[in-house]
Amino acid sequence: MSDGKSELADQGKPSPEGAALPPSTVVGETAPPARPIAPMSSPATLVGSVPQAMRYPDPSASPATIVGTVPSMAGYPPMPGGPVQPPPYPTQPYGQPPPYAAAVPYATPTGTIPYNAPSTDPATGQPQPAWLGYSMNPRPDRWHLAIGFVKLHFSRAIARDLRSVDVAADESPILASHGVRDRTIQQYLLWRRSWLYLLLPLAFLAATIQMTSFFSETRDLSNFSWFGIIVLGTTFVLQMIGYPIAAALAVWKWDQARFSRWTLIIGWIASFLLPFLVALIPFGDFIVIEETDPDFIVGQKFGAGLVGATFWLFSLLPALLAIMPGILRACVRIKSLLPESIVPGWIIVMTAPFFTLVLLVVFVAVNQVAGNLLLVGGVLLIMASPAVFLIRTDLLVKPVIEEKERRRIEALQVVYVATILIGMALLLTYVFTLKVMGKPVVGNTEAVPPEPTALIGVGRFTWEVMTFLIAYSAKSVFVTAVAIDLFMMLNLSVWKNLKAFEGTQHAAVYDHIMDSFQDLVEGKDDSSRPFATTPTRAFEVIPSGKSAGTNPSSGNLEPD
């Protein structure tokens, strides 16, 4: 208002009815002088009552009625006929100036627009946590931070293309402090950390279920020797808790690649390799046989062998089935990270048929016992799932440069997962519809006649299936974490050896041999090649008994 005063409001008297009022005239009760408002923008004509809390620090003061043209605050559009919009800063006391020039640290999102946290904290200038942008809250508490943390790492872990992983502002300096500045390697380490975060709850949940089941049952150990109790007990405990502990240590030191990698390898040896080695020991060596009759001893050991075979079958089956899918998943991730490499593609091409043949043996055995369309279809889909990658072998075994080729590899991953899920759905449908001797295998175990009683209750069957799937998923995810490290080292070894081999005299010999073999495959005559005779390697021995290597004109190359 002009000069901070009002001509009629100072006397508290109403203006003459019908009299024309200047634009700055206030009619109504007076109020304490308002503090300065935000910088002015275009004026807006307002008619109405202004809430006191928006303009005056004293809540007991009465509101003022404004009639005329009042400039609107910066950043807010004029609102004719409505109340003045609140400023974007808290109400300040009289003696304390409002922070007009200070930027609002966080702007509250409007509608359904996701909140994008700044890369640095406006107050301290330090990098913000990577998951802050996933909290959907401008001032997140611990709960919102936890949600953002889960969203960030879950979205990274399930990413089919590792080059889509974003490197946050607070993560790049951590990796740079360990000498990792290449963006691709940073993406690899960040994806690996998120994958281990995905593994941790699955691994510890599986270990908790197995440990509870193992120690809750009462077992008669009188027939076992001390050697058997110690070996079997230690092996079973390491099989359950070895890889969860290794995963926790690996994700704790995720930025120290060598320590983290070796921790996972040791965990794999303890949880996967050691049980297979112990299973090679005859189960009869773990029991105490007090009889001296040789025939009785043979019978006892045979019976113990049957018990041991059953025990190891169900104990090692999840680990065995988890190896091949874990390897395939690791190779596909490496191919997405390093599309120029052919090593992961060839591993896929070699392991996929092998895994299919292993499942084929299981399918033949099951099909002989119970032939059913649902059973056959489910097993065939699961068995053929690894063969999905063989459809586009040409993309896997060559350097992939174009973006459309990378998208086709991602599509293969989707088809692979969909094939497995459909196969599992068919198998579950088969189990719930299966009947043995007129009784359903899964159903109501407390049915009243004449309704048949099921052999296994729905709750019990669901619990057993969920337990198996959790253990299988945890081991499969762990195998992927170990395999991707080993295959990255293998890829490094291949690259180093090829770089050392290129440019040597033996490289020319190898190129000539491969050119001739290509002519053989294509049915061509290699006489048109520059060398009519294959160049002799430096380490080969010619018929005279001397080392090979003559002049270049004959096609031979000088030895080192």
Structural contact between residues 71 and 41, judged by C-beta atoms closer than 8 angstroms: yes
422 pLDDT band, cuts 50/70/90, is very high
Question: What integer pLDDT is reported at residue 534 of this predicted model?
Answer: 53
Name the DSSP letter for residue 403. H
CA–CA gap between residue 152 and residue 146 (Å, rounded)? 10
Residue of 477, 476, 484, 167 lying closest to 341 (CA atoms): 484
Question: What integer pLDDT is reported at residue 123 of this predicted model?
Answer: 54
Among 17-21, 370-374, 492-496, where is mean pLDDT lowest?
A: 17-21
Residue type, 557: L
Highest mean pLDDT out of 65-79, 110-124, 354-368 = 354-368
CA–CA gap between residue 147 and residue 63 (Å, rounded)? 43
Sorted by sequence, the CB contacts under 8 Å of residue 499 that are 6+ apart come out as none
List the alpha helices (DSSP H) in 217-284: 226-252, 257-268, 274-279
Please compute the mean of the pLDDT values over residues 4-21 and round it to a whole number: 46
Q: Please give the C-alpha separations between residue 214 and each of 126, 237, 281, 462, 468, in angstroms, as whole numbers.
A: 49, 9, 21, 19, 15
CA–CA gap between residue 259 and residue 373 (Å, rounded)? 50
Q: Which residues of 94-132 are buried (b: 16+ CB within 10 A; e: fewer)?
A: eeeebeeeeeeeeeeeeeeeebebeeeeeeeeebbbbbb
Indicate if the pLDDT at residue 197 is higher than 60.
Answer: yes
Q: Which residue has the tokens 């001032």?
A: 139
Question: What integer pLDDT is reported at residue 408 of this predicted model?
Answer: 87
Cα dihedral 484/489/494/497 (nearest 10):
170
Indicate if the pLDDT at residue 276 is higher than 70.
Answer: yes
Question: What integer pLDDT is reported at residue 481 of this predicted model?
Answer: 94
Whether residue 559 is preceded by a cis peptide bond, meaning omega within 30 degrees of 0, is: no
DSSP letters of 127-139?
BPPGGGGGS--SS
CA atoms within 13 A on the CB side of 143: 0
Question: What integer pLDDT is reported at residue 103 of this predicted model?
Answer: 41
pLDDT digits (tens, 9 = 90+) for 97-156: 444 444 444 343 333 334 444 555 555 555 655 555 554 455 556 787 888 888 888 999
**Tokens (6 digits) for 206:** 């599986």
Please compute the mean of the pLDDT values over residues 447-453 and round it to a whole number: 70
Question: What integer pLDDT is reported at residue 214 of this predicted model?
Answer: 77
CA–CA gap between residue 494 and residue 180 (Å, rounded)? 21
Indicate if the pLDDT at residue 193 is higher than 90.
Answer: yes
Indicate if the pLDDT at residue 205 is higher than 80.
Answer: yes
Residue type, 311: F
Highest mean pLDDT out of 15-29, 217-231, 317-331 = 317-331
pLDDT digits (tens, 9 = 90+) for 499-532: 888 878 888 888 888 888 888 888 877 666 665 4
Chain CA centroid to CA 64, Å:
59
CA–CA gap between residue 288 and residue 300 (Å, rounded)? 10
86 pLDDT band, cuts 50/70/90, is low
Indicate if the pLDDT at residue 480 is higher than 90.
Answer: yes
List the alpha helices (DSSP H) in 269-392: 274-279, 294-337, 343-369, 373-384
Q: What is the mean pLDDT of the chain?
A: 74
537 pLDDT band, cuts 50/70/90, is low
Indicate if the pLDDT at residue 374 is higher than 50.
Answer: yes
Please compute the mean of the pLDDT values over residues 421-438 and round it to a whole number: 85
CA–CA gap between residue 530 and residue 555 (Å, rounded)? 8
Number of other CB atoms surrounding residue 514 within 10 Å: 10
Question: What integer pLDDT is reported at residue 138 of this predicted model?
Answer: 52
Instruction: Please tell me whether the overall predicted TM-score, pTM, comes out greater than 0.75 for this model.
Output: no
Structural contact between residues 46 and 81, judged by C-beta atoms closer than 8 angstroms: yes
Among 213-217, 256-260, 375-379, where is mean pLDDT lowest?
A: 213-217
Among 200-209, 265-274, 423-432, 442-451, where is mean pLDDT lowest?
A: 442-451
CA–CA gap between residue 4 and residue 34 (Å, rounded)? 9
Please compute the mean of the pLDDT values over residues 383-394 and round it to a whole number: 85
Among 51-55, 442-446, 460-464, where is mean pLDDT lowest?
A: 51-55
Phi, psi of 49 (to 5 degrees): -105, 135
128 Rama sector, left if φ>0, alpha if ψ -120 to 50, beta otherwise: beta
Question: What integer pLDDT is reported at residue 447 of this predicted model?
Answer: 67
Question: What integer pLDDT is reported at residue 133 of this predicted model?
Answer: 53
CA–CA gap between residue 527 and residue 58 (Å, rounded)? 103
Number of residues assigned to the chain: 560
91/268: higher pLDDT: 268
Please compute the mean of the pLDDT values over residues 540-556 and round it to a whole number: 46
CA–CA gap between residue 393 and residue 371 (Å, rounded)? 33
Number of other CB atoms surrounding residue 348 within 10 Å: 23
CA–CA gap between residue 72 and residue 85 (Å, rounded)? 8
pLDDT digits (tens, 9 = 90+) for 294-303: 777 777 778 8
1 pLDDT band, cuts 50/70/90, is very low
Angle between helices 226-252 and 294-337 (to 10 degrees): 10
141/199: higher pLDDT: 199
Question: What integer pLDDT is reported at residue 247 of this predicted model?
Answer: 94
